[in-house]
Amino acid sequence: MVEYSSTLDTVFHSLSDATRRDILKRVSKEELSISTLAKPYPLSFAAIAKHVAVLEDAKLITKRKIGKEQIVSIQPNTFKAANACLGQYEKIWNARFDALDTLLKNK
């Protein structure tokens, strides 16, 4: 009956935490090691490593080892899937909404 997409489940679940979204924001600007990522937050290193693991599971980021460090970088393609999903809900009511928007502006 329902079309189950475990991928979207994990993507959206990853995005539902403010710390993880902040990690994504930082990583979208530059590649960072997990320990560098961990510094600003009032959480243990292990907690951040877990958050990074969640993001990695959702394929929102990738890790690659350089020496003793794990360098985290963003994985663009996955966001396209999330966007496409949101777009799916949008398409019908978008026209309606835009019409309302213009209506309100011209009032």
Partner DNA sequence: CTATCATTCAACCATATGGTTGAATATAGT
Partner DNA sequence: ACTATATTCAACCATATGGTTGAATGATAG
Residue labelled with tokens 């990695």: 56
21 near a copy of itself (CB under 8 A): yes
Our CB check for a copy of itself shows the closer of 39 and 65 to be 39
Q: How far is the CB of 23 from a copy of itself (least distance, A)?
A: 9
The interface partner of residue 28, options being DNA, a copy of itself, none and the CB cut-off 5 to 8 Å by kind, is a copy of itself
Q: Got the DSSP string for 65-93?
A: EETTEEEEEE-HHHHHHHHHHHHHHHHHH
Contact 35, 28 (CB under 8 A): no
Q: Which of 35, 53, 97, 99 binds a copy of itself (CB under 8 A)?
A: 97
| Residue span 42-71 as binding mask against a copy of itself, x where in contact by CB under 8 A, dash where not | x-----------------------------
Torsion 102-100-87-15 (CA) sign: positive
Residue 72 burial (CB count, 10 A): 22
Q: Interface with DNA by CB under 7 A: which residues?
A: 13, 16-17, 19, 33-36, 38, 42-47, 49-52, 54, 63, 67-70
